[in-house]
Structure 1
């Protein structure tokens, strides 16, 4: 359902989800969450011009729209760092706290796949460069918001036994732009619900 809700606004932009890290690492950081096929009637929204301020929700009805504040955007920035670093630490408890159960299942699957291959994905020095709200809406007692986030991080994949880097560069931060959808229920904390990586 979240994958469907990702694409509600007008645009010719049609993101092609991928499961590879933009930084080139082996781990896909739960990108499978965005790789499910779209139904034929799903439409796409444009990534807003990063740095242009809050995006609109022009096609949402008045009852669907929610208004976000800078505090919400600050929370999304915090979640970006927390989720990335928790994933790099393989901190299952933190991921359960920061993401929805559906998203947690994708992240855990990714961690298990890395472990099976004898790999460990390390993520550090996460820093948000620019962000915009692409869309925000309400469904019953749940609020959703999709943010376009451009950030940099040090992202490497190491052999679990030797510690040798097999992908990425420890001394070279990489830049990534992604769409992160967050959800909160009954006014609770925002949690990561989905990640979309533009193709």
Structure 2
């Protein structure tokens, strides 16, 4: 079978357009402006580079992307299977699949004796790759949307239940009165001494969720400093400064915790830590400060986020947010 061959200039143009389209898709899917900007950053003591134990609210978490805690060799080995770091072709998601397809097409061309780019040189080959990637992307988005809608709790016909389920959290997530039991294949490890939390602790976690988002929306660095560890306060101050330089401001309203459960709780050295998975809703809009024009988001649309928030405190002291990891 003969295929239509593209000229080098046309081939470069098509590949360039493919990368631009991929960048637009990724940006539209993940560009969010709430506190943390959909990144995983902060510190969880000796468990910083380990994966939090899964919970019904969030079965998995993204690995830490930025932290002041050094990444030791043992911590690197404790990652969950399949979570690799480093290298452009090791990236997951849309771009990882895109680069894998391009590389595979080139290798196929080499094996057929027609040069590295011959696998991409046919119009049918490139269109086939584009179609497959687009279909997979659309299907995944539809399935995720359906699952979120299915998991949306219903409070009609009665009082709204406690989203943190405080009594059940310690009973179900604690292993013999200790910290959350590590699940097989996850690198939580036996670091630190398990602790048990009280209802007041979960009240503090839920309250801090709203207070952090409200302070971030006001660009109130002083308030954030009272709610966050110094490391986290520094990261969020950088985000606020970046938005200010771009002439933007973030408006976050109607924050409501929908579901939460304990992942891990432990003490080490002179600090106690608790990692909680939380699913919450909010309205998140980015505005142009000079004109008030909406740059991103919809002021009438409620969004949902699923994240692991880790809190730290001196023994029996005040909890402060020390890390956020995306679910």
TM-score class normalised by the smaller sequence: 0.7 to 0.9
| Aligned equivalents of 1:102, 1:139: Cα separation in 2 | 18
| Aligned equivalents of 1:189, 1:160: Cα separation in 2 | 35
| Aligned equivalents of 1:173, 1:10: Cα separation in 2 | 28
Q: Gaps (5+ residues) in structure 2?
A: 1-42, 82-162, 175-179, 183-188
**Cα distance, 1:182 vs structure 2:** 0.2
TM-score scaled by structure 2? 0.49
Asked if 1:16 is matched to 2:139, the reply is: no
| Aligned equivalents of 1:68, 1:143: Cα separation in 2 | 10
Asked if 1:58 is matched to 2:171, the reply is: no
Greater helix percent: which structure?
A: 2
Q: How many correspondences in the alignment?
A: 178
CA RMSD of superposed structures (Å) = 2.8
Instruction: Classify 1:176/1:9 alpha carbon distance in 2 versus 1 (closer, same or farther; 3 Å).
Output: closer
**Which among 197, 217, 225 is matched to residue 88 of structure 1?**
217
**Which among 267, 270, 281 is matched to residue 138 of structure 1?**
267
**Cα distance, 1:173 vs structure 2:** 1.1
| Aligned equivalents of 1:187, 1:109: Cα separation in 2 | 30
> Conserved in 2, the CA contact under 8 Å of 1:66 and 1:137?
yes
- The residue that corresponds to 1:2 in the other structure is 44
| Aligned equivalents of 1:126, 1:77: Cα separation in 2 | 10
| Aligned equivalents of 2:313, 2:52: Cα separation in 1 | 21
> Conserved in 2, the CA contact under 8 Å of 1:10 and 1:44?
no
Asked if 1:40 is matched to 2:76, the reply is: yes
Structure with more relative contact order (C-alpha pairs < 8 Å, separation 6 or more): 1
**Which among 219, 222, 228 is matched to residue 99 of structure 1?**
228
Deviations 1:157-198 (A, max 9, x none): 001111111111111111111000000113211000010012
Asked if 1:176 is matched to 2:212, the reply is: no
- The residue that corresponds to 2:200 in the other structure is 71
**Cα distance, 1:61 vs structure 2:** 5.7
**Cα distance, 1:36 vs structure 2:** 2.5
| Aligned equivalents of 2:249, 2:234: Cα separation in 1 | 18
| Aligned equivalents of 1:14, 1:128: Cα separation in 2 | 19
| Aligned equivalents of 2:260, 2:61: Cα separation in 1 | 18
| Aligned equivalents of 2:209, 2:203: Cα separation in 1 | 10
Instruction: Classify 1:148/1:161 alpha carbon distance in 2 versus 1 (closer, same or farther; 3 Å).
Output: same
Instruction: Classify 1:191/1:170 alpha carbon distance in 2 versus 1 (closer, same or farther; 3 Å).
Output: same
**Cα distance, 1:9 vs structure 2:** 6.0
Deviations 1:61-118 (A, max 9, x none): 6970010122211110000000010000011111000000000000001101111111
Instruction: Classify 1:102/1:110 alpha carbon distance in 2 versus 1 (closer, same or farther; 3 Å).
Output: same
**Cα distance, 1:16 vs structure 2:** 2.9
